[in-house]
Chain A
Amino acid sequence: MMSLNELWFLLIAVLFIGFFFLEGFDFGVGMSTKLLAKNDSERRVLINSIGPFWDANEVWLITAGGAMFAAFPHWYATLFSGFYTALVFVLLALIGRGVAFEFRGKVHSETWKKTWDIVIFLGSLLPPLLFGVVFACLIQGVPIGEDMNMNASFSDIVNGYTLLGGITVVVLCLVHGLMFTTLRVMGDLQDRARMMAKKLLIPLAVLLVGFAVMTYFVTDVFEVRGTILSVTAVVGVIVYFLAAYFISRKKDGWAFGMTGAVIIVSFASIFIGLFPRVMVSSISDTFSLTITNAASGQYSLKVMSIVALTLLPFVLGYQIWSYFVFNKRVNAKDHLEY
């Protein structure tokens, strides 16, 4: 039987993975407004393709944060205070991005739109980059002392390994976003999105393999969870090849599913590698935060479990429904909100 601490670790992992799967594609679409779109009309089509969804996708992050606060207050406190400056940038990016979507279409001036386009691009690029860095730090280990506080220097957070993690996540989101685009737009833009995703397949594979290999040498996760991580690695390779196969066969729906599967497998591997720790201390393993020493009391976890398991089916239900409501492709000739 799973303990409540394990259940909450799993739930938080699912929330983060869900966030990277969902907001992953809208970050990708956000980036492709600069990298793929050729003119204003294409940019608007791209933004509209994620219009009804990005806000709810971001709530996955907020919920993950809230769940962490409630179930593992020490994890929340150590992580958020430890990565203070990185999170300031994440927040600035998300603030800018969120309002940019709303503001961009409100004034018909070139400079106005161009300014918000830059904000959308940076706001879609910085969060996956910084989250990639932070997650790489989590498994690499950060200086957490006996008092559970993390006192990291710049190089503890930004180094070769974590930067590679950040860049990998960025490209992963971009490819995933391009595949989402192929599902939501038509014509030339759709073809170009697919082409671009195809071109990125090899660089992305290099990044992913590079990150996995470095993880083997830099972290202890393969020592701790070697068997299961070799299984996820194999699954990762398979879904990656399937993604490549479907992209080249223009089976966009399947391809999108597979790029999503790559995201799921990648982040699941990180959480598996951590378990039962939630943050690895680079000072001493005894100072690592775990699902036991970072957790709330059993009563709190029990109440939260009941609430969460009751609400989740409804939440998932209406979110999925909203994707069905907006299953029609976005056309430049339609009414565009942004």
Chain B
Amino acid sequence: MDPVMLSRIQFASTTLFHFIFVPLSIGLALLIAIMETMYVIKGKEEYKKMAKFWAHLFLINFAVGVVTGILQEFQFGMNWSDYSRFVGDVFGAPLAVEALLAFFLESTFLGLWIFGWDRLSKKLHLMSIWLVFFGTLMSAFWIIVANAFMQVPVGYEINNGRAEMNDFFALITNKQLLLEFPHTVLAAFMTGAFFVVGVSAYKMLKRKDYEFFKKSFIIAIIVGMVSSIGVALVGHSQAQYLVETQPMKMAASEALWDTSSDPAPWTVFATIDTDNKENGSTFQIPYLLSFLSYSKFSGSLEGMNQLQEQYVEEYGPGDYIPPVKTTFWSFRIMVGSGSILILLSMYGVYLVARKKLDQVNKWFLHIMVWAISLPFIANWAGWIMTEIGRQPWTVFGLFKTEDSVSPNVSAGQILFSLISFSLAYLILAIILVYLFLRVIKKGPHDSDTHKEESHDPFDKEGNYVS
């Protein structure tokens, strides 16, 4: 097999797997920090118990996020060495800052948080979890600085055939970043929130620790509503910016072969024929694409065929149309999942506000359990659209994917690593789900899993058993 394809499969699979855990970690860190803040302010043990219970899930999840993250950093050099040579000057800096500013903060203060319940004052302990949360945000920020450069390169000049940074400030004020970062972290808050909502709903259905989980549900559904609406609003601005900066990606995500009419209708679904570059049957809503793209009910969008001609003129011969079906459908899956989440969370908040949560039909809670999967689907679809839609480029307009791989790594080596990592990740996934279910089943009681192991109940030496 072709090393480019294998490297792409490995990058896609390891990145998507990593990106199950990252948003959940960010979102759970926020919720745990909120819960512990309520504990410190209100002084009720219940909130401490809450923070501790959700932390069990957070920690299992965080561990997998961290270990799969190391691979992400190594893989640029291992599989994409020519890419690393080309952009290292620009792309390496945010990665280095990410480690310095985010990873040290997260790891040190998480250690302090886990082991520090009895050794730190309440306030210092609370500060630790907020710093962990801040660390996860910084981590997201700097990695998206790097990603935003791949989407919309700024602050560089080409010297000796490689991109060299000439304006760091431009890099961290890249408009792409200022849209992509809030979109991604709000989606992460949403992921954590719907996870807590879903698990709480499950326990409420089982009538286990009802009041405990109802409280968790209430905190999380509010965070879920605010963040899911936020994601959509930022997403709207992001789409408009996409029209300006990466019109090809926009056209592909609309399966728009030829420049649209003015005003442009939005295609809800279409049967796409990539060979003949046309769509079969479509279902469209008039005016909507113009509105999505320009916030007004007029304006047309350029089509892929026209853009292809322009790009050939600009960048030389080649195929500049990304995989259209993937881009088109991932965009719809993302938007569809997001919209369902907004509606669900609004209804949930309505129930809470009206104090009707206890009388609610079971179906709503059942739906919320299943809704745990939607943020993950939306996150994945969003990244698939972003990254696949940029093809054939790794850095848009500057550097192609086919030129990015390591010339000295053989297909066999990549195949070996691909199989090993996939197996390892598969095992991790199975164990993670198993552990999650165990913790959830157990509930907040004995949330201290080691309690049954304290050796001698009359032995006072172990008195800082938490």
Q: A85 near B: Cβ within 8 Å?
A: yes
Quote the shortest CB–CB distance from B324 to chain A (angstroms).
Answer: 32
Q: B34 near A: Cβ within 8 Å?
A: no
Q: What is the CA–CA distance of A51 and B108 in the complex, to the nearest angstrom? A: 11
User: Using Cβ atoms and an 8 Å threshold, which residues of chain A touch B459?
Assistant: 333
Q: Given that A303-B93, A311-B101 are contacting pairs, would A81 and B79 also be in contact in the complex, using a CB cutoff of 8 Å?
A: yes
User: Using Cβ atoms and an 8 Å threshold, which residues of chain A touch B464?
Assistant: 334-335
Residue A106 contacts which of B68, B91, B435 (CB distance < 8 angstroms)? B435
User: Using Cβ atoms and an 8 Å threshold, which residues of chain B touch A107?
Assistant: 435, 438
Quote the shortest CB–CB distance from B134 to chain A (angstroms).
Answer: 13
Residue B111 contacts which of A61, A72, A322, A335 (CB distance < 8 angstroms)? A322
Q: Given that A91-B70, A106-B435, A300-B164 are contacting pairs, would A77 and B96 also be in contact in the complex, using a CB cutoff of 8 Å?
A: no
Residue A91 contacts which of B71, B108, B164 (CB distance < 8 angstroms)? B71
Q: Given that A65-B73, A304-B96 are contacting pairs, would A337 and B85 also be in contact in the complex, using a CB cutoff of 8 Å?
A: no
Q: B333 near A: Cβ within 8 Å?
A: no
Contact B68 A55 (CB under 8 A): no
Contact A71 B92 (CB under 8 A): yes
Q: Which chain A residue shows the least CB distance to B113?
A: A52
Q: Given that A98-B63, A325-B116 are contacting pairs, would A70 and B85 also be in contact in the complex, using a CB cutoff of 8 Å?
A: no
Residue B112 contacts which of A52, A106, A333 (CB distance < 8 angstroms)? A52
User: Using Cβ atoms and an 8 Å threshold, which residues of chain A touch B119?
Assistant: 325-326, 328
Residue A95 contacts which of B77, B417, B424 (CB distance < 8 angstroms)? B424
Q: Which chain B residue shows the least CB distance to A320?
A: B108
Quote the shortest CB–CB distance from A151 to chain B (angstroms).
Answer: 5
**Which of B78, B165, B168 neighbours the largest number of chain A CB atoms within 10 Å of its CB?**
B78
Contact A69 B104 (CB under 8 A): no
User: Using Cβ atoms and an 8 Å threshold, which residues of chain B touch A151?
Assistant: 408
Q: A276 near B: Cβ within 8 Å?
A: no
Q: A246 near B: Cβ within 8 Å?
A: no
Within 8 A of B (CB), among A31-88: 51-53, 55-56, 58-59, 61-63, 65-74, 76-82, 84-85, 87-88
User: Using Cβ atoms and an 8 Å threshold, which residues of chain A touch B213?
Assistant: none
Contact B100 A308 (CB under 8 A): yes
**Which of B100, B111, B112 neighbours the largest number of chain A CB atoms within 10 Å of its CB?**
B100
Q: What is the CA–CA distance of A303 and B171 in the complex, to the nearest angstrom? A: 12
User: Using Cβ atoms and an 8 Å threshold, which residues of chain A touch B63?
Assistant: 98-99, 101-103
Q: Which chain A residue shows the least CB distance to B85?
A: A77
Q: B194 near A: Cβ within 8 Å?
A: no
Contact B108 A318 (CB under 8 A): yes
Q: What is the CA–CA distance of A285 and B166 in the complex, to the nearest angstrom? A: 32
Residue B77 contacts which of A80, A303, A311, A318 (CB distance < 8 angstroms)? A80
Contact A335 B465 (CB under 8 A): yes
Within 8 A of A (CB), among B57-107: 59-60, 63-64, 66-68, 70-71, 73-74, 76-79, 81-82, 84-85, 87-93, 95-101, 103-105, 107
Contact A99 B165 (CB under 8 A): no
User: Using Cβ atoms and an 8 Å threshold, which residues of chain A touch B112?
Assistant: 52, 322, 325
Within 8 A of A (CB), among B401-415: 406-409, 413
Quote the shortest CB–CB distance from A90 to chain B (angstroms).
Answer: 8
User: Using Cβ atoms and an 8 Å threshold, which residues of chain B touch A55?
Assistant: 66, 107, 110-111
User: Using Cβ atoms and an 8 Å threshold, which residues of chain B touch A326?
Assistant: 111, 115-116, 119
Q: What is the CA–CA distance of A148 and B406 in the complex, to the nearest angstrom? A: 11
Contact with A along B202-239 (1 / 0, CB 8 A): 00000000000000000000000000000000000000
Quote the shortest CB–CB distance from B275 to chain A (angstroms).
Answer: 36
Q: Given that A106-B438, A106-B449, A334-B464 are contacting pairs, would A84 and B417 also be in contact in the complex, using a CB cutoff of 8 Å?
A: yes
Contact A149 B407 (CB under 8 A): yes
Q: B455 near A: Cβ within 8 Å?
A: yes
Quote the shortest CB–CB distance from A305 to chain B (angstroms).
Answer: 11
Q: B420 near A: Cβ within 8 Å?
A: yes
Contact B164 A296 (CB under 8 A): yes
User: Using Cβ atoms and an 8 Å threshold, which residues of chain B touch A96?
Assistant: 424
Contact A95 B68 (CB under 8 A): yes
Quote the shortest CB–CB distance from A72 to chain B (angstroms).
Answer: 8
Q: What is the CA–CA distance of A332 and B67 in the complex, to the nearest angstrom? A: 28
Residue A66 contacts which of B73, B116, B456, B461 (CB distance < 8 angstroms)? B73
Q: Which chain B residue shows the least CB distance to A303?
A: B168
User: Using Cβ atoms and an 8 Å threshold, which residues of chain B touch A303?
Assistant: 93, 165, 168
Q: What is the CA–CA distance of A98 and B109 in the complex, to the nearest angstrom? A: 17
Contact A81 B77 (CB under 8 A): yes
Contact A66 B449 (CB under 8 A): no
Q: What is the CA–CA distance of A78 and B109 in the complex, to the nearest angstrom? A: 34
Contact with B along A114-136 (1 / 0, CB 8 A): 00000000000000000000000
Q: A224 near B: Cβ within 8 Å?
A: no
Contact B108 A69 (CB under 8 A): no
Q: What is the CA–CA distance of A194 and B413 in the complex, to the nearest angstrom? A: 43
Q: B367 near A: Cβ within 8 Å?
A: no
Q: A2 near B: Cβ within 8 Å?
A: no
Q: Which chain A residue shows the least CB distance to B461?
A: A333
Q: B286 near A: Cβ within 8 Å?
A: no
Q: B416 near A: Cβ within 8 Å?
A: yes
Q: A219 near B: Cβ within 8 Å?
A: no
Q: A307 near B: Cβ within 8 Å?
A: yes
Contact B92 A296 (CB under 8 A): yes
**Which of A61, A62, A325 neighbours the largest number of chain B CB atoms within 10 Å of its CB?**
A62
Residue B84 contacts which of A76, A94, A311 (CB distance < 8 angstroms)? A76
Within 8 A of A (CB), among B151-167: 159, 162, 164-166
Residue B108 contacts which of A56, A61, A308, A328 (CB distance < 8 angstroms)? A56
Q: B281 near A: Cβ within 8 Å?
A: no
Q: A150 near B: Cβ within 8 Å?
A: yes
13 examples of A-B residue contacts, CB within 8 angstroms: A55-B110, A56-B111, A67-B96, A78-B81, A91-B71, A98-B66, A149-B407, A300-B89, A304-B93, A307-B97, A318-B109, A335-B450, A335-B465
Contacts from A to B (Cβ < 8 Å):
51-53, 55-56, 58-59, 61-63, 65-74, 76-82, 84-85, 87-88, 91-92, 94-96, 98-99, 101-103, 105-108, 147-151, 296-297, 299-300, 303-304, 307-308, 311-312, 315, 318-319, 322, 325-326, 328, 331-337
Name 20 extra pairs, CB < 8 A, besides A52-B111, A108-B453: A51-B114, A55-B66, A73-B84, A73-B92, A77-B81, A77-B85, A84-B406, A85-B417, A94-B67, A95-B68, A98-B66, A102-B60, A150-B408, A296-B92, A300-B90, A300-B92, A307-B97, A311-B97, A334-B462, A336-B453
Contacts from B to A (Cβ < 8 Å):
59-60, 63-64, 66-68, 70-71, 73-74, 76-79, 81-82, 84-85, 87-93, 95-101, 103-105, 107-112, 114-116, 119-120, 159, 162, 164-166, 168, 406-409, 413, 416-417, 420-421, 424, 428, 431, 435, 438-439, 448-450, 452-456, 459, 461-462, 464-466
Task: List the 9 shortest-distance A-B pairs measured between CB atoms, nearest first.
Answer: A73-B88, A80-B77, A70-B92, A69-B92, A52-B111, A77-B81, A66-B96, A102-B63, A81-B406
